[in-house]
Structure 1
């Protein structure tokens, strides 16, 4: 038997196999988890899933946060309800963040369209003009637009204006992803336009602006795909700019990301900022009175 075939056989022999919910509950109990209401646990596992919940009972393991050489043994007294509480905290926090991240995204998209389209009034498809936008973005544009063109409003535009290569910016940019919008802003050759857009978000330094926008993009994607938030680690440190009280250790965590959201909301709507802060702080206060409090202690309450 050749080496490649041996590796495939070895992999097959040690590959994990599917388990029933009853087997999953038995395994959790063998690892030290206390499950007093098995019927409820069965209902939850059938609804949410063993794999997804695993991210939320991992902190209760003896070797947390070490992801290597895990034995999956839980700390004494760990209950199924504890892990479920951490899952629901994350779920509720994602729900709050999604609302306000959407508000920020819409504001940024609208501001970009308004400022640049009015600057280049005679060029409704300025986003495709090499005199205005950097070449790297333009190389990506045909691929981006092929997806944008699938939207009914854009289909309708091209049906009506058959000679147009692109629909105007105020139509096209509505269907660009948040990541593409950020890339387009960075690609604007007229830096003063980037500056004006940044100022609309209450940020005067462009490096700070791009750093904080990328932070929002990461958090938005985590929320959109349902990944765990409470222990989020940002690959790139946040540049705090005018944000006061952001400690060095918070610049790569969700705590810093929440401060960014609150700060930017203050330039869009003070009412929405206060609402956001109150909702986040209320959720944190409730969670801190539960056993899961120790896993979210790094997320400090926000200040008005």
Structure 2
């Protein structure tokens, strides 16, 4: 089959949506949003409103205003989550630098002997080198100028400030299980040991990428499968969801870690305020259960 759909104008898109049953009471509002937010970015929000996914026919009483509410809810949710992940990322970076530099030396991240997969390490280091090479940070420029005869990377406390959460996650997960710091870091972040933390970090890194690239989180099936602690040392869920694709479980892990890293955080309060602000948003699409108020983690 050859793709042969023509390019639509904003007016044609609005007319088509109306023909398919989407109620657009405010034509100017629809024109404004479609001129600033692409049709297919908004389509992810009205997809669940469609009764016939083949013909794209909307359910009765589907409203464009509700599409915009979903879009704005999702945008504000990503900002909230991104802020929480920032704290987790900085904590992980700090612990990797501190514990491994003391267990080995400041260039531990170049030490192939302490990693399980040398090929994966080479890829991570190549990515890190690119970040360092294009860095304009004064501490990197001064290091290169002062130690130009030293062909190694700058020490961990400089180099790892340049790398992404994803690379930090890969460095941690790739450490051999015999490395003492691997368990120490896991314990300090509430994951007990190295068995669980890599899957948590992988999940959080994926969500961070969605947030950074402004991708929809509402009603999204997430690819990560976090391993769940049987007896967490800190406040956790009583009723752990079996559906690992929904955001709720992943948010619960973020909340769990955040309580350790930033005990006075307002993550739950802000999440509740967001759901109150957008009452048309269905929390079930995020995996939130009606009885979540009974969960100590979310109070």
* TM-score past 0.5 threshold: yes
Corresponding residue number in structure 1 for 2:267 = 276
Which piece of structure 1 moves more, 240-249 or 252-261?
Answer: 240-249
C-alpha contact 1:236 1:252 (8 A) present in aligned 2:
yes
Q: Distance in 1 between matches of 2:211 and 2:98?
A: 28
Task: Please report how far the alpha carbon of residue 188 of structure 1 lies from its aligned counterpart in structure 2 after TM superposition.
Answer: 2.4
Q: Distance in 1 between matches of 2:204 and 2:283?
A: 25
Corresponding residue number in structure 1 for 2:196 = 208
1:263 aligns with 2:245: no
Q: Distance in 2 between matches of 1:105 and 1:156?
A: 25
Structure 1 residues 142 and 83: CA distance shift in structure 2, 3 A: closer
Corresponding residue number in structure 1 for 2:149 = 163
Structure 1 residues 131 and 249: CA distance shift in structure 2, 3 A: closer
1:29 aligns with 2:10: no
Which piece of structure 1 moves more, 230-239 or 16-25?
Answer: 230-239
Of 136, 146, 151, the match for 1:152: 136
Task: Please report how far the alpha carbon of residue 251 of structure 1 lies from its aligned counterpart in structure 2 after TM superposition.
Answer: 2.3
Structure 1 residues 294 and 260: CA distance shift in structure 2, 3 A: closer
Of 118, 122, 128, the match for 2:110: 128
Of 62, 65, 85, the match for 2:51: 62
Residue 227 of structure 1 aligns to a residue whose secondary structure is coil
> Which runs of 5 or more residues in structure 2 are unaligned?
none
Task: Please report how far the alpha carbon of residue 103 of structure 1 lies from its aligned counterpart in structure 2 after TM superposition.
Answer: 0.8
Corresponding residue number in structure 1 for 2:179 = 191
Q: Distance in 2 between matches of 1:92 and 1:206?
A: 33
1:73 aligns with 2:57: yes
Cα RMSD over matched residues?
1.9
Q: Distance in 2 between matches of 1:251 and 1:295?
A: 14
Structure 1 residues 158 and 42: CA distance shift in structure 2, 3 A: same
Query: What TM-score do you get using the length of structure 2 for normalisation?
Result: 0.88
Task: Please report how far the alpha carbon of residue 246 of structure 1 lies from its aligned counterpart in structure 2 after TM superposition.
Answer: 4.6
Corresponding residue number in structure 1 for 2:212 = 224
Q: Distance in 2 between matches of 1:229 and 1:297?
A: 8
Of 71, 80, 91, the match for 1:107: 91
1:165-197 deviation digits (Å, cap 9, x = unpaired): 211110000111111111111222343210011
Q: Distance in 2 between matches of 1:297 and 1:161?
A: 50
1:97 aligns with 2:61: no
Q: Distance in 2 between matches of 1:204 and 1:180?
A: 22
Query: What TM-score do you get using the length of structure 1 for normalisation?
Result: 0.86
Greater radius of gyration (CA)? 1
Task: Please report how far the alpha carbon of residue 229 of structure 1 lies from its aligned counterpart in structure 2 after TM superposition.
Answer: 0.6
Tell me which of the two structures has the higher relative contact order, counting C-alpha pairs closer than 8 angstroms and 6 or more residues apart. Answer: 2
